[in-house]
Structure 1
Amino acid sequence: MLEELEIRNLGPIRHANLGFGTGMTAITGETGAGKSMLLDAIRLISGASVQTGRTDTASADIWAQGIFHVEQDCTASSIAQSAGVELEDGELFLTRSLPSHKRSRAILNGHTVPRSLLHDVGSELVTIHGQADQMRLASSARQRDMLDRYAHNEQIRGEYAARWRALQQLDERLNTLNRQQSSAQDRADYLRASIAAIDDASPHTGELEELKSRRERIENLAAITQGVNKALAALDASQIDVEEDQSDAVTKIHDAVRALEDIGVPAVFGESITRLESVDEELADIVFSLAGQLDSNDEDGDLDVINGRIHTLNGLVQRWGPDVEHVLQWRDKAQLELEDVEASPEHVAALRLQRIELLHEVGESAVRLSKSRSSAAKKLGAQVSSELDSLAMQGSCLDVQVTSRFDASTVASLESARSDTADGASSQIDVDERLLDSHGCDDIEFLFTPFPGSARLPMGKSASGGELSRLMLALELSMAEREAGHDTSASAVEQGMVFIFDEVDAGVGGKAAVELGRRLAILSRNAQVIVVTHLAQVASWAQTQFTVSKRTVESASDGAGGSHIETVVNRVEGDSRQHEIARMLAGSESATSLRHAHELLNASRM
C-alpha cells in the first residue's frame, strides 16, 4: 500500500506531500492544474523513463519519493531483498532524483540501485491505467499473465514449467555430448595409447628414486671402493689383501687388552679391560658392514641398463607427472574416461529416448494448461462484458481468444495417451516441439468491441483513452472478484498492489458516472485505488480526496517584483471537501450546489 508520496520541483509543483490511506483516493482539480504531475511522480519512483516538463524549475533538482507498506514475503520484498536491500519496519522507500545537470539516481531504502531494480519493485506495487500505460496490456505476454491469474492454474503452470526446464536441460546435455562425439574418437585413441605406454613401462612407486640412487653408486664406485678399503685397513687389515705387518685398530685394541691382563691386577684394570672388549665388538660390526659394501658394489648392475630405465620413467613423468605416483593415478583416471568415451553412443541413445518421453510429457502438460485457459477465457470475457454494461459502455464486449498451436487430432491423442497412462498402459504421440514455448502451446489475444457492429480489434487499437481506462477497470474488477471468491489470502490489497486510474471518466456523466464511482469503490475493497477525475459523482465515493490547484506567487528574489505560477496539492475534508464537490458539480459554491454536494457525499457512502 502507498502510504506517502512526496514531490519536489516537479513541473510547477514546488513541494507536495500526500498521505494515502486504504480504500479509494480521488485527485481532483481544474483542467491544467497539474494533476498529471502526480502520475509523473509515481511513474518516476516506479523506475519509468519519464520526460517531465521543467517549467520554472530548470535550475532545480526534481525529487520524488514513495513510501510503501509491504508484507515480508511479497514479491516486491523478495526482489528488494535478493538485491541486498532490507525492509525498514515493513516499508519500502522508492526514491528518484533528477538533478538539473547530472544523471538521475534511483534509490531504494537509502541504497543507490539501478533504475531497472526500482522498476522491477515498482511494477509489483503499482499498476497505472492511463492512456499511455494501458498499451502494456496490448502485449500477448501480459494478457497471458492476466488470464492465468484469473484461471488460478498455478499448479498446472508449475508442472509445465518444471517439465519444460527439464527438457531444456536435457537438450543442453545432448548438445554437449554431440559436440564431444566429433572429437571422441581422437580422444579415445590418445587415451588408449597413453595407457598402453604406461602399462608397457610398468613403473612402480619409488622406482625412479631407487634407480637414481643405484646410478649414483655405480658412477662413484671407484671412490667408494678406495675409501672403504682405507677404512678397513685402518680398522682390521685382515679383511683386505695388505701386508701382514699393517697396523690396525683391531690389533692395537687386542694388544692393549693383553697388556692389561698381563699386569694381573683385575681389581684395578678389570673395568678398562671390559670397556676395550666392548669397543672391539663395535669395531667388528663396523668392519662387517663396510666389507658388505665392497661385496654389493659388484652387484649394482649395468649402468647403461639403469640409465635406459631412468630415461623411460622420466618420459612418463614429463607427460603425466610430476612423479611416478601421479603417472599411475593419471592412468587409472584415463581408464575410466576411456570407458565413458567408448560408451557415449549408447549414453546418447538413452538420452534421446528419454527426451522423446519428456517431450511427450511436456505436450500433455501444455494441453492441460490450454484447457484451463480456454475455460477461464470464456468466463473472463463474459464477466468483463457485464462490467462494461455497468460502466456506461452498453454493447461493448471483450473476447479473450485462446488459440492452441496443436491441431485437434494432436490434442485428442495427448489426452487419450494421458488416460491410457493413468490406466497402466503406455503410448507415445509425436509432438512437434516447434509449437511449444516456455509458456505452453497457446496464442492469447484480448479482442475488444467498443460498440455494437464494430469489428473485434486487438486491445489498444480499438478504443479511446477513456474507453480503455474503463475496460481496464472492468478487467481489474473481474480479477478482484475472482481473487476474493477463490482465495482471499491472495487478494491484491494483501499483496500491496496500488491501482491508479487516469481518464477513466472521459465521456461519462449522469447515472453512469455514479456507477463508475461505485465500481471503483468496490475495487478498493480489495486494493488501494487512486483515481484522477473531474467528476464529482466519482470523487464522492473516495475515502480520501486531494485537490490540485494553481496559485500566483510573487517573485521577490531578484528584486524586480515579478511573479510565477505554482501548483499546490491540498487534502480536503469535512466542509472543505463538500465545497470542492460543489465546485465540481456546478463550477461554483452556491447554496444549491452545496446542498447537492452534501446529498451526493451521503449517497456515496458504502
Structure 2
Amino acid sequence: MLEELEIHNLGPIRSALIAPAGGMTAITGETGAGKSMLLSAIRLISGGPSDGGRVSVGAQEAWAQGVFEVASSPAAVAAAREAGFEPEDGELFLSRKVPASGRSRSMLSGRSVPRSVLASVAAELVTIHGQADQLRIATVSRQREFLDRYAGDEVALAAYGKTWNALRAMDERLERLSSQESSMRQQADYLRESIERINRVDPQPGEMDELRARRDRIENAAEIAEGVTRALGALDASQVADDVESASAADLIDRASQALRAIHVEGVFSELADRLDSISTDLSDVVFSLSGEVDNEASVEDLDAINGRIHELDELTRRWGPELSDVITWRDKAVYDLEDLDASPEKVEQLEAERAQLLEAAKKAAQAVSKRRRAAAKELASKVTAELDSLAMGTSKLEIRVAEREQLDATGADDIEFLFTPFPGSPQLPMGKSASGGELSRLMLALELVAAEKHVVAGGTVPPMTFIFDEVDAGVGGKAAVELGARLAKLAQSAQVLVVTHLPQVASWADEQYVVAKGETKDGSIATTISQVRGDERVHEIARMLSGSESETSLEHAEELLKSSVLD
C-alpha cells in the first residue's frame, strides 16, 4: 500500500506531499492543473522512462519518492530481498532523481539500484490503468498472467513448469550430443580409456601407505629379526632357544611379587606387589607380540610384487594424483561425465526414449492447465461483461479465447486472447485496439473487480496492490458516473485505489480527496499545489465540480451527494 508520495520540481509541481487513504483516494482539479504529474511521479518511482524536460523551470533536478507498506505483500518483499534489500519496519522507499540533463538515478530504500530493480519491486505494488499504461494488458503475456491469477492455477502451473524444465534440459543434452559429437566422442574415448586403466589397477583407499610400510619391513628384515631375537632373549629366552635354564624377566618379576606378598606386615608391600603383577601382565603381552614377529618374514618374491604394485600406483598418481585418493575421486567423477559424453547410438536412443516420456508428461500437465484456463476464461468473460453494464458499457462484451496448440512453450500449450466488442455489430478486436482510453480503463476496472471478488469468495485474500485509474470516467455522466464511483469504492474494500477524475459523482465515493490547482507564487511564476480537502472544504470542491460555482444550491447538492455515496 502506498503510504506517502512526495514530489519536488516535477513539471509545475514545486513541492507536494500526499498520504493516500487505505481505501479510495480521489485526485481532482481543473483541466490543465497538473493532475497528470502525479501519474508521472508514480511512473517514475515504478521504473518508468524519465524525461529531463519535465524538470521544473529553473530547477536542476526533479525528485519523487513513494513510501510503501509491504508487510502484507510477500511478493514485493521477495523482489526486494532478491536485490539485496530488507524492508525496514515493514516499509520500502522507492525514489527517483531526474536531472534536467543527464541520466536519472533510481534508489530503493536510500541505495542506488538499476532501474530494472525498481521496476521489479514496483510491479508487485502498483498497477496503473491510464491511457499510456493500458497497452500492457494488450500483450499476450499480460493477458495470460491475468487469466492464470484469476484461475488460481499455481499448483497446475508449477507441475507443468517442472515437466517443461525437465524436457528442456533433455533437449539441451541431446543438442549437445548432436552439435559437439566429434569433440565429445574424443573426450568420451579419453575418459573411457582412463577409467579402464584405473580399473585394471584397481587402487584401494590407503593402499599406498600400507604397501610402503610392508616394503620398509622387508628391506629391513635382518635388522628387525636381530632386534626381536635379542629383545625376546632378554625378556624370555625360552622363546628363542630350547633348554634354557636361566629365568626370564617375567619369572624374576613374579618371584619378587611373591617375596613381597610373603611379608605379613601391613604397609606398602602389598601395593608394590600389585604393581609388579601389573608389570608382569604387560610384559607377557609384549613377549607374545614379539614372538609373533619372529616368523613374520617376507621373501624376496614378496618384495618384488610389492615394488611392482607401488610402481603401478605411482603411474596413476602421476597422471591423476597427486594422491591415490585423488585418482579414485577422478575415476568416480569421470564415470558420471562419461554418461553425458557418450554419443553412441544406443545412448542417443536411450535419451530420445526418455525425452518422449518427458514430452508426454509435459503434454498431460499442459492439458490440465488448459482445462483450468478454459473454465476460468468463460467465467471471467461472463462476469466482466455483466460488470460492464454497470459501467455505462452495457452493449460491450468481452470474450476470452483459449486456443490449445500442439507446440509447447514455457507457459503451456495455449494461445490466449482477450477480445473486446465495443457495440453490437462491431467485429471482435484484440483488447487495447478496440476501445478508447476511458473504455479501456473501465474494462480494466471490471476485470480487477471480478478478480478481487473471486479471491474473496474463494476465502482467500486479494493480492495487496495499489490500483491507479486515469481517464476511467471519460465519456461517462449522470447515473453511470455514480455507479462508476460505487464500483471503484467496492474495489477499494479489498485494495488501495487512487483515481484521477473530473466527475463529482466519482470523487464523492472516495475516503480521501486531494485537489490539484494552479496558482501564482511569490516570484510571479505559476506553480501547482496539491492539498487535501475535508469537511467544508471538500463540500466546496464537490460543488465546484458539479456546477463550476459554489452557490448555495450547488453546496446543498454536494452535501447530498457525499451523504449518498456510501456502500450498503
What is the TM-score when the length of structure 1 is the normalising length?
A: 0.71
Q: What residue number does 1:461 align with?
A: 433
Q: Tell me which moved more, 587-596 or 310-319.
A: 310-319
Q: Given residue 365 of structure 1, which amino acid in structure 2 is its aligned partner?
A: A
User: What are the superposed Cα offsets for residues 51-100 of structure 1, whole Å, 9 maximum, x if unpaired?
Assistant: 36436434332111111112266100111122221111111111111233
C-alpha deviation, 1:583, in angstroms = 0.4
**Aligned: 1:504 with 2:476:** no
Q: What residue number does 1:358 align with?
A: 358
Q: Report the count of equivalent residues.
A: 476
Q: For residues 490 and 360 of structure 1, what CA distance do their matches in structure 2 show? A: 35
Structure 1 vs Structure 2 CA RMSD: 3.5
Q: What residue number does 1:277 align with?
A: none
User: What are the superposed Cα offsets for residues 154-178 of structure 1, whole Å, 9 maximum, x if unpaired?
Assistant: 2211211111122223334444555
- Contact 1:316–1:327 at 8 Å: present in 2 too? no
- Contact 2:63–2:97 at 8 Å: present in 1 too? yes
User: What are the superposed Cα offsets for residues 11-61 of structure 1, whole Å, 9 maximum, x if unpaired?
Assistant: 111100011121111000000000000001111111111336436434332
C-alpha deviation, 1:388, in angstroms = 1.1
Q: What residue number does 1:119 align with?
A: 119
**Aligned: 1:601 with 2:565:** no
Q: For residues 327 and 376 of structure 1, what CA distance do their matches in structure 2 show? A: 58
Q: For residues 338 and 469 of structure 2, what CA distance do their matches in structure 1 show? A: 67
Q: Given residue 587 of structure 1, which amino acid in structure 2 is its aligned partner?
A: G
Q: What residue number does 1:29 align with?
A: 29
User: What are the superposed Cα offsets for residues 385-414 of structure 1, whole Å, 9 maximum, x if unpaired?
Assistant: 1111111112111110111114xxxxxxxx
**Aligned: 1:572 with 2:533:** yes
**Aligned: 1:67 with 2:67:** yes
- Contact 1:320–1:326 at 8 Å: present in 2 too? no
Q: Output aligned runs, 1:55-454, within 5 Å.
A: 56-71=56-71, 74-176=74-176, 179=180, 182-183=185-186, 186-187=189-190, 190-191=193-194, 205=208, 319-320=319-320, 322=322, 346=346, 348-406=348-406, 435-454=407-426
Identity %: 54
Residues 553, 162 of structure 1: alpha-carbon distance in 2 compared, 3 angstrom cutoff: same
SS in 1 for 2:123: helix
C-alpha deviation, 1:452, in angstroms = 1.4
Q: For residues 516 and 337 of structure 2, what CA distance do their matches in structure 1 show? A: 79
SS in 2 for 1:554: coil
SS in 1 for 2:550: coil
Q: Given residue 444 of structure 2, which amino acid in structure 1 is its aligned partner?
A: M
Q: Given residue 588 of structure 1, which amino acid in structure 2 is its aligned partner?
A: S
Q: What residue number does 1:415 align with?
A: none
Residues 314, 153 of structure 1: alpha-carbon distance in 2 compared, 3 angstrom cutoff: closer
- Contact 1:24–1:520 at 8 Å: present in 2 too? yes
SS in 1 for 2:384: helix
User: What are the superposed Cα offsets for residues 217-250 of structure 1, whole Å, 9 maximum, x if unpaired?
Assistant: xxxxxxxxxxxxxxxxxxxxxxxxxxxxxxxxxx
Q: For residues 198 and 553 of structure 1, what CA distance do their matches in structure 2 show? A: 93
Unpaired segments of 5 or more residues in structure 2? Answer: 217-299, 301-307
- Contact 1:547–1:571 at 8 Å: present in 2 too? yes
Q: Given residue 592 of structure 1, which amino acid in structure 2 is its aligned partner?
A: T
- Contact 2:185–2:343 at 8 Å: present in 1 too? no
Q: Given residue 547 of structure 2, which amino acid in structure 1 is its aligned partner?
A: A
Q: Given residue 487 of structure 2, which amino acid in structure 1 is its aligned partner?
A: R
Unpaired segments of 5 or more residues in structure 1? Answer: 214-299, 301-307, 407-434, 556-562
Q: For residues 468 and 447 of structure 1, what CA distance do their matches in structure 2 show? A: 12
Q: Given residue 385 of structure 2, which amino acid in structure 1 is its aligned partner?
A: S
Q: What residue number does 1:546 align with?
A: 514
Q: Tell me which moved more, 157-166 or 454-463.
A: 157-166
Q: What residue number does 2:51 align with?
A: 51
Q: For residues 89 and 346 of structure 1, what CA distance do their matches in structure 2 show? A: 60
Q: Given residue 490 of structure 1, which amino acid in structure 2 is its aligned partner?
A: T
Q: For residues 41 and 527 of structure 2, what CA distance do their matches in structure 1 show? A: 16
SS in 1 for 2:409: coil
- Contact 1:4–1:68 at 8 Å: present in 2 too? yes
**Aligned: 1:535 with 2:503:** yes
- Contact 1:58–1:100 at 8 Å: present in 2 too? no
Q: For residues 326 and 169 of structure 1, what CA distance do their matches in structure 2 show? A: 32
Q: For residues 140 and 338 of structure 2, what CA distance do their matches in structure 1 show? A: 50
* Rg (Cα) greater in structure: 1
C-alpha deviation, 1:580, in angstroms = 0.4
- Contact 2:208–2:313 at 8 Å: present in 1 too? no
Q: For residues 326 and 313 of structure 1, what CA distance do their matches in structure 2 show? A: 11
Q: For residues 337 and 372 of structure 2, what CA distance do their matches in structure 1 show? A: 50
Q: Given residue 399 of structure 2, which amino acid in structure 1 is its aligned partner?
A: D
Q: What residue number does 1:490 align with?
A: 461
Residues 334, 170 of structure 1: alpha-carbon distance in 2 compared, 3 angstrom cutoff: closer
Q: Given residue 477 of structure 1, which amino acid in structure 2 is its aligned partner?
A: L
- Contact 1:320–1:330 at 8 Å: present in 2 too? no
**Aligned: 1:475 with 2:447:** yes
Q: What residue number does 1:9 align with?
A: 9
C-alpha deviation, 1:322, in angstroms = 4.9
User: What are the superposed Cα offsets for residues 274-312 of structure 1, whole Å, 9 maximum, x if unpaired?
Assistant: xxxxxxxxxxxxxxxxxxxxxxxxxx9xxxxxxx99999
